[in-house]
């Protein structure tokens, strides 16, 4: 099997896994937890406990997602930044 085929298969598997995680609602739950944290009343007696519980739950959900999916931000940004840098340098070549 060629390297290109292996890369293509890996991409398909990652895409399928992303779809499964999306369907599982892990990321949506993280967003809901952030909303709950925002609505907590600082003056409440249970503020600290509630905050810690929501923070821990959110951390574990994000770790679960990150365990099965690599962080693609650096890959996506690298390609985009190279293009943007070239466009930026081309703007000043005329001067």
Number of domains in the chain: 1
d(CA 39, CA 32): 11
Query: Directed axis angle between helix 3-24 and helix 26-39, to 10°?
Result: 50
- Residue 33's CB is within 10 A of a number of other CB atoms, namely 19
pLDDT at 70: 60
In-domain check, residue 11: no
Per-residue pLDDT of the chain (95 residues; tens, 9 = 90+): 788 888 888 888 888 887 887 777 777 888 899 899 999 999 989 999 999 999 999 998 888 777 766 665 545 444 445 545 555 555 555 54
Domain carrying residue 52: 25-91
In-domain check, residue 78: yes
pTM higher than 0.85: no
């Amino acid at each position: 099997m060629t390297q290109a085929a292996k890369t293509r298969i890996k991409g398909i598997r990652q895409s399928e896994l992303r779809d499964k995680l999306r369907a599982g609602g892990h990321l949506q739950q993280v967003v809901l937890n952030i909303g709950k944290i925002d609505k907590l009343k600082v003056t409440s007696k249970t503020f600290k406990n509630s905050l810690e519980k929501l923070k821990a739950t959110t951390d574990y959900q994000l770790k679960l997602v990150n365990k099965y999916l690599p962080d693609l931000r650096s890959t996506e940004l690298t390609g985009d930044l190279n293009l943007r840098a070239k466009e930026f340098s081309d703007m000043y070549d005329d001067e």
